A and B are shown apart, each in its own frame.
Chain A
């Protein structure tokens, strides 16, 4: 099991507990966390991030509310279901294509910020204001 580390950005304007929720979901999506894995204990999280334990509690409760994790008394908090999609797993065609594209963009002289800006702009075009009937899969929330 990979050790999950949270990185809190204090100036992002996003509440800390939400950042933890989002990063957990991110890990679930990428398959770093699989059903049955145990989330880090609150003690482990706060020792690394210096965040208030209540904040971690709040985040875990939110994940529980979203049906993603469940606490087992005395044992910890465990992942219930994955958000991973085979389409985005390692080795999938989508990911391989994207990796190749990223290499080409870099070779073309684009820096990280340029690539992120380009990807962001394309994502915005593709995913906003889509008319009804678009067969967009839901984000994985129940």
Chain B
């Protein structure tokens, strides 16, 4: 991860995001509880999990649209609201809110007037690539076009951390590909960190190199995708095979005489099994299907130890 990014961008320095003991309660209950992970700078991170897992809440907390009930979320090593982070975090909410009566040009103007940094040329380019006329009114645009304008607004502010809540959800595959390409180009050029959520993992697998799996308000997996996959093994065998240590097992399933087990690869594989490398999807699903499995965070995904003030 060197030589490709211009010097002095978000590549060096503290982690882009460090979440520790984060929790948020609503009247209906805890949307997020004791959530902790670390996202190093310059990574493209997929935030995945079923609906209701707390992804939107987590993103709103990171973007400071909400205040946490407990715990902390630090961006670039500074606590929330720190003036040093002013203008460094960009956010696009799930519904891509825009002012319906504004024209596209006025929407970009909003970005220019409100943000400390602004690249008008870049924002205009993003809009133009989608064939959107600057004079068009927002309420005449399609869902994909609105997403593009929202992204133009977010990217034009030259953020160092971009938080996107299910940006692709209402887009056709071509639009998804184009917008993902846009984000990747920005990552290649400026080394920004991206946190992008989805409840469909497949569309993110190519672009993301980091992952956080959220379920029921807590973190199940976090870390570099290659490391997470390498940290698991898929065992295929039958009744005669040696039972793996219970502490390493994520999920065991059986169809007839065949047993499939997903285990952690911290140690030699037990006797009598065929060993295969699982796909990312298999790892995620196994963790989601099996409650009570201890969370797995790779070394760089573990938040720093901190003493909790009484």
Q: Do chains A and B touch in the complex (CB under 8 A)?
A: yes
- Chain B residues in 8 Å Cβ range of A16: 206
- Asked if residues B209 and A52 are in contact (CB atoms below 8 Å), the reply is yes
**The one of A10, A41, A43 that contacts B206, using a Cβ cutoff of 8 Å:** A10
- Asked if residues B184 and A53 are in contact (CB atoms below 8 Å), the reply is yes
Q: Does A18 contact B (CB under 8 A)?
A: no
A71 to B3, CA, bound (A): 9
For window 15-41 of B, CB contacts with A under 8 Å fall at none
Q: Does B187 contact A (CB under 8 A)?
A: yes
- Chain B residues in 8 Å Cβ range of A57: 1, 3-4
For window 41-58 of A, CB contacts with B under 8 Å fall at 41-44, 46-57
For window 9-53 of A, CB contacts with B under 8 Å fall at 10, 16, 41-44, 46-53
Q: Which of B177, B188, B207 has the most CB of A within 10 A?
A: B188
A-B pairs under 8 A by CB, number: 56
Q: Does B181 contact A (CB under 8 A)?
A: yes
Q: Which of A42, A48, A49, A50 has the most CB of B within 10 A?
A: A50
- Asked if residues B206 and A53 are in contact (CB atoms below 8 Å), the reply is no
- Asked if residues B4 and A53 are in contact (CB atoms below 8 Å), the reply is yes
A86 to B177, CA, bound (A): 38
Q: Does A8 contact B (CB under 8 A)?
A: yes
- Chain B residues in 8 Å Cβ range of A56: 188
Contact with A along B184-203 (1 / 0, CB 8 A): 11011100000000000000
A47 to B44, CA, bound (A): 15
**The one of B182, B188, B205 that contacts A53, using a Cβ cutoff of 8 Å:** B188
- Asked if residues A50 and B206 are in contact (CB atoms below 8 Å), the reply is yes
For window 88-132 of A, CB contacts with B under 8 Å fall at none
- Asked if residues A52 and B3 are in contact (CB atoms below 8 Å), the reply is no
Question: Known interface pairs A53-B187, A71-B3. Does A47 touch B182 (Cβ–Cβ under 8 Å)?
Answer: yes
Q: Does B208 contact A (CB under 8 A)?
A: yes
Q: Does B269 contact A (CB under 8 A)?
A: no
- Asked if residues A47 and B184 are in contact (CB atoms below 8 Å), the reply is yes
Question: Known interface pairs A52-B44, A54-B1. Does A47 touch B206 (Cβ–Cβ under 8 Å)?
Answer: no
**The one of B177, B189, B209 that contacts A54, using a Cβ cutoff of 8 Å:** B209
A56 to B185, CA, bound (A): 11
- Asked if residues A43 and B1 are in contact (CB atoms below 8 Å), the reply is no
Look across to chain A and name the residue whose beta carbon is closest to the beta carbon of B3.
Answer: A71
Q: Which of B177, B205, B207, B209 has the most CB of A within 10 A?
A: B207
Known A-B contacts: A51-B206, A53-B4, A71-B3. Give 12 more (CB < 8 A).
Answer: A8-B206, A10-B206, A16-B206, A42-B188, A44-B185, A46-B185, A46-B188, A47-B182, A49-B181, A50-B177, A50-B181, A73-B3
Instruction: List the interface of chain B (C-beta within 8 A of A).
Output: 1, 3-4, 44, 177-178, 180-185, 187-189, 205-209
